Amino acid sequence: MASANDYIARNFEGEQPAANHITKQILNQICKKEIPEYLVFIQERLVSDTIQKAKQIALEAKVKTQPGESPFFVTDEDMGINGAIGNSFALIKPGKKDSPLRIIISHSDVPSLRIPVNPVYVECDTEKGLASPSLGLYTEPFGGVRADDWYGMDVDIIGKIYFNGKEKRVDLPGRIKQKSLHVDDVRALKTYEGLKVDTGLRNVFDLYHKLGIKTADDFARARLYCLPHFTNGSNGRMVGNELGAFGHDDRCCVWASLKAGLETLKNNDNTTLIFALDNEEIGSVGNSASYRGFFENTLRETLKIVHGDKAKEIELPVALNRELLGGMPAIFADVGVGLGPEELEDSYNVNYRGASRLGWGAMINCGVTTSPKHMSKILDLFDKKLPGKKQRLRYQIGGDYSPVDSRWSWKGDAQMYDAFGDVIPCLNIGVPVTGLHHPRTETVNVFDLFWMKEAYKAYLEN
C-alpha cells in the first residue's frame, strides 16, 4: 500500500491549478517573455524610476507623450499638477464616444522606510559614542512595515533633493545594524527606534556634502527613502513557479495593467485609462493620488478628446456611476495577502475561506462594497474571454482578508480601493502575495501574474 506522501506526490500538480492545462504556447510566453520582462521592470526601486521605466515601455510601443494624441502616456508632472514629482502616470487611449470607459487603477509606491526632516542622529554620550563612530539617520515607516524585517539590512538611501527648480539625485549606501545574538534578548520586540541607518560618515559636513545640502533645514527639500540594497545586483529569484523579490506590492499590478493596456490598444473602440497613482501606502492622499487631482484632470482631458464640446455637459462623478462605464466597475489593481504556511500559524486571525492562494490564478476580492451584479458580469466575462480552456482555473474569489492596509494612514484606512469606492463603482483584482510588505521576499506565483494580466485584457476589450 502506498503511503500518504506517495499519494500526495502523484497529485501535487493539482495544488496549483493556474499552472495546469497550459498550452506550450502560453508556457513559452510566460517563461521566455513575461517573466524576463517583469524582472527587468522590478529592478527599479524609487517610484519615479518605476514611472520612467513604464514610460520607456510605452514609447517603445509607439505611444505618444502629448495629451490629445491617441494613445498617449503622461505623468503627473506632464499634466501640470502643482508640486508633482513624477510619481504617477496614466496610459490613455481615447475611443469612440458611444463606447464605454475602461479604467484600471494601481498604486506606484511601495512600503518602505522614509528619511524624515532633521534625521541626523549623533550619540552625545562620550562612552556610548565609542560604539557609534559614524553618523546615523533616523527613519520612519512608510506604509505598513514590520520593524523586525529591517534589522540587519544593507540598504541604500535613495531619493531626490530640489534646489532652485532643479533636482539632484541621492544614492548613498547604508546599513541598519542588528544586535549580536550573545547580547540580544530574543523575547524583546524590535522597535522602530532601532531602525537608524548607519552612513559610515564621521562628519556631519561630509554627510551634507554627499547629499548636496548646506544645513539640516535642507532635508525639507528632499524626498529620501531607505530601500533594500540588491547585494547581487538584481532583484528577484525564482523558486519553482514562485518569484520572491522586493516591491511586488504594487509593481506587479502596475506592470500587468500597463502591459494589458498596450496589448489592447487596437482591438476595441473603448476608451482605456490605465493609472498608477502615488501614496496608497500612507492613505491615498495628495493631488497625485485618490480621486481628485491627477486622476480627475486626466479623465476630464480624455472626455474632451472623446466627446468634444459635449464634455462640458458631463457631470462627474455621477456620469461614472450611470453611463460612462457601461454598467461595468472600474478595476482597482492591488495585491492581497496570500495563504502560505506562515499565515497558517495564525489560526485566530486568518480567514481560511476568504484568503487567496498562490497558484490559483488572479485574485478577485469580493468585498462588502462590491455589487453582485458587477461581480457576475466580471465572472461571466472571464469565463468566456480568458485564453485557452479551463477558465475557472484562472481566477479565484477572495474576501476582505486585510481591510486596513496601513496603521500609519492619515485617514485610518489606506486602501485606494476605499477612496475611489466613494465615487466610482470599483472591484479589486490582483494577485495573492505571501510575505506581503517584506523588504526582500514578497512572493508571487508567475502563473497568477500572467492570468491577472490576461484578466485585465479581457476587461479592457469588453
Q: Which of 140, 123, 144, 141 is nearest to 132 (CA)?
A: 123
pLDDT digit string, tens, across residues 163-212: 988 899 999 999 999 888 888 887 788 888 889 999 999 899 999 999 99
Lowest mean pLDDT among 149-153, 408-412, 433-437: 408-412
Ranges in the chain annotated CATH 3.40.630.10: 16-110+246-461
H/E element, 60: helix 47-60
CB 92 within 8 A of CB 71: yes
Q: Which letter does DSSP use for residue 198 in this model?
A: E
CB 224 within 8 A of CB 115: yes
Gyration radius from the chain CA atoms: 23
Architecture of domain 112-228: Roll (2.30)
H/E element, 10: helix 4-10
What's the pTM? 0.92
- Residues 183-213 as b/e (b if ≥16 CB within 10 A, e otherwise) read eeeeeeebeeeebbbbbebeeeeebbeebeb
Average pLDDT for 60-68? 89
Ranges in the chain annotated CATH 2.30.250.10: 112-228
Tell me how crowded residue 181 is: count the other CB atoms within 10 A of its CB: 7
pLDDT digit string, tens, across residues 372-391: 899 999 999 999 999 988 99
Three cell numbers written together for 424:
466610482
CA 345, CA 350: separation in Å to the nearest integer? 9
Three cell numbers written together for 251:
509593481
Helix, strand, coil percent content, the chain, rounded in steps of 5: 35, 20, 45
Residue 52 pLDDT > 80, yes or no?
yes
| CATH classification (class only), 16-110+246-461 | alpha beta
- Respond yes or no on whether the N-terminal peptide bond of residue 71 is cis (omega within 30° of 0): yes
CB 439 within 8 A of CB 149: yes
